[in-house]
Amino acid sequence: MTRIPPRTRNVRILATLGPASDSPEMIRRLYLAGADAFRINLSHGAHEDHAARIAAIRALEREFGRPSTILGDLQGPKLRVGAFADGLAMLETGNAFVLDRDDAPGDSRRVNLPHPEIYEALVPDARLLLDDGKMVLRVKSVTEDRIETIVEVGGALSNRKGVNVPDVVVPVPALTDKDRRDLSFAMQQGMDWIALSFVQRPEDLAEARKLMGGYGALMAKIEKPSAVQRLAEIIEMADGVMVARGDLGVELPPQSVPPLQKQIVETARRLGRPVVVATQMLESMIKAPTPTRAEVSDVATAVYDGADAIMLSAETAAGDWPEEAVAMMDSIAHSVERDPGYLARLHFTQTAPDPTTADALAEAAAGIVPVVDATVITCFTSSGSTVRRVARERPGAPILALTPRQDTARRMGLLWGVHAVRTKDIGHFEEMVGKARRMALRHHLTTKGRKIVVLAGVPFGTPGSTNVLHVATVRGDELKGRE
């Protein structure tokens, strides 16, 4: 086993795997370049291909002695038009266009739309966006099998292009049959996070929760305007949230997305849920070895806002420069976090503690760090909830999470500032203090003579029992002890 020092940045980098990053060699290079966690996009590819990627990620865990984190991203319900007689049709601005339940091939006047849920939900004057918003239809009338529209923005519409319905909540199930199969596969393979796509309301999370049965952690992807209307409820129901800016930008005016991003990040932080900012962060690096200055600024903004993780999509999944994209994101994050005003900006968001002992101690731990110049907050945890509470405070020192559970250690790979270590549980107070000092030294998070903050729960090993806060001084001879 080759031990490497922990990351020195707080924000985490989530890299999507795909054809450009299939090989174990490339996955290892992405990890060494700065990727903290990996996204498996279950919309594409066969299960056997995904299983090979997962095996390569877990091999890194064994090689470097650090928990690896995998997010499985479910496709969600995809709404699409049918086929055209000539493969595509030109929709002229100002012309009438009909969507109906007829299976016959379409033309420039009509096409099949095989989704009864849309007919049920639509009302006159609602919009239909086709092919990622490239074309816009305005509904004039709707029946149970026919939607009459006027083309507001025309273009060439080809077979089975996507349909977005931004102005109403479409009563489609959150999980398709494919999603259920993919979820079963993800659980069998031991993925740590499951991302649910196209969440519209809190109830959409219920079926996934039931199928998961307490397994792993569930992330809600916010990519529908309807989700924003019930944002706090959705975030409270989830274990984490993703700002999926690509689809948000299809259904909303582009200028609406930046303030929404800040609203989602702020709400997630206030509610103590990890938040990932995703999509098109370094888009030009799909084809170019360097990003635009605007993209660099975009990534920096997400870091300044206090996102737990920032995500690369096509840049690492299908781009020409996957390793360079990760290294660039790592470099941007380091640059932001070296800014003397970085931590002050993070605390623009108020994260008032809940009236619990654990929240009170988490807030106190963050407050103690600057007062005693502590180098690390060491948390003993079983479920990871204590660590999540401390991370919400965005303290001025890294968080060393010590847990006996491998699944808990892996899930914490998307939490801001957390370095997770799987280790044996503790049995008494003196062992707690000794192990906290020893592990902080072993993982290069402190040095002789420095102070550390320790959080734990008594009785030890009991989930949700955090009730001890202790400040200890590192002597320097702790490494002679056992792990």
Please confirm whether the linkage preceding 459 is cis (ω < 30° from 0).
yes
Beta pairing, strands 88-91 & 155-158: antiparallel
CA distance 272 to 351: 8
| Other Cβ atoms within 10 Å of 460 Cβ, number | 17
Q: Which of 93, 100, 80 is nearest to 159 (CA)?
A: 80
Q: Is 39 a catalytic residue?
A: yes
Helix H or strand E segment including 226 = helix 225-229
Return all residues near 55 (Cβ < 8 A) that are at least 6 apart. Answer: none
> What are the CA-CA distances from residue 59 to residues 34, 50, 62, 182, 267 (Å)?
17, 14, 5, 22, 36
Query: Could you say which of 28, 80, 262, 405 is catalytic?
Result: 80
Q: Are the C-beta atoms of 111 and 135 separated by less than 8 Å? A: no
Q: Are the C-beta atoms of 5 and 443 separated by less than 8 Å? A: yes
Query: Could you say which of 9, 53, 161, 221 is catalytic?
Result: 221
Query: Could you say which of 7, 12, 39, 273 is catalytic?
Result: 39
Return all residues near 350 (Cβ < 8 A) that are at least 6 apart. Answer: 270
Query: Could you say which of 16, 149, 279, 351 is catalytic?
Result: 279
HSE (side-chain half, CA atoms, 13 Å) at 337: 23
HSE (side-chain half, CA atoms, 13 Å) at 388: 21
Beta pairing, strands 466-473 & 451-457: antiparallel
Q: Which of 402, 378, 398 is nearest to 461 (CA)?
A: 402
Tokens read off for 336: 């932001």
How many residues in total does the chain contain?
483
Return all residues near 405 (Cβ < 8 A) that are at least 6 apart. Answer: 382, 383, 422
CA 54 to chain CA centroid, Å, is: 18
Return all residues near 465 (Cβ < 8 A) that are at least 6 apart. Answer: 457, 458, 459
Q: Is 80 a catalytic residue?
A: yes
Q: Which of 132, 114, 2 is nearest to 59 (CA)?
A: 2
Active site residues: 39, 80, 221, 279
